Amino acid sequence: MEFITTNLPGVVIIQPKVFGDERGFFMETYRMDKFEAAGIPTHFVQDNHSRSQQGVLRGLHYQIRRPQGKLVRAILGEIFDVAVDIRRDSPFFGKWTTTHLSAENKREMWVPPGFAHGFYVLSEWAEVTYKTNDYYAPEWERSIAWNDAQLSINWPLVNGQPPSLSAKDSRAVSLAEAEVFEDELVK
């Protein structure tokens, strides 16, 4: 595995070694010793799997209490994956990083606690799986608007059309209005 740093300290792209032939392929998607050596927490408590059609945008989500780190990958199709630093005391507060995750490139992205996360589906369909290091706690879930002017994320919208959002994400607030993490070192 190769661990690729991004412009946001703590957010890491993982490129697995893929062994393939005419029969298919094999790869490790998680290996505790290598993740520990890369500084990524290795205690995951929940696996999630979603399926979305082209143009769906999920996010930008986070939990203000019981913050989750997420190890995200696309197992079908392609997504534009985004992490936003929302730790108020961080020198990177309000900054974001992106990558394309796809079944073809087999990459994963580690989004640590203290970051909002979202993705946009580029392919006809995408299936996304992610491991979390804390449990889903709906009472603490929050959303920041995908199109917040302060963030100015360059979403690659298919045909320039607005994304398909859930009702919850349609009500998301701006970063300026959002509850954010007051401690840079989110516990």
- pLDDT confidence of residue 42: 85
pLDDT in tens, 22-62: 999 999 999 999 999 999 988 999 999 999 999 999 999 99
CB 127 within 8 A of CB 44: no
Whether 43 is catalytic is no
Domain around 151: 43-170
Catalytic residue among 62, 117, 120, 130: 130
Assigned domain for 141 exists? yes
Residue 71 belongs to domain with CATH number: 2.60.120.10
Assigned domain for 36 exists? no
What does the alpha-carbon distance between residue 54 and residue 163 come to, in Å, rounded to a whole number?
9
Whether 61 is catalytic is yes
Catalytic residue among 43, 49, 61, 100: 61
pLDDT in tens, 73-106: 999 999 999 999 999 999 999 999 999 999 999 9
- pLDDT confidence of residue 97: 98
Assigned domain for 35 exists? no
Assigned domain for 38 exists? no
Per the structure, the count of domains in the chain is 1
Assigned domain for 156 exists? yes
- pLDDT confidence of residue 185: 56
Task: Name the one residue in this structure whose structure tokens are 């491991």.
Answer: 131
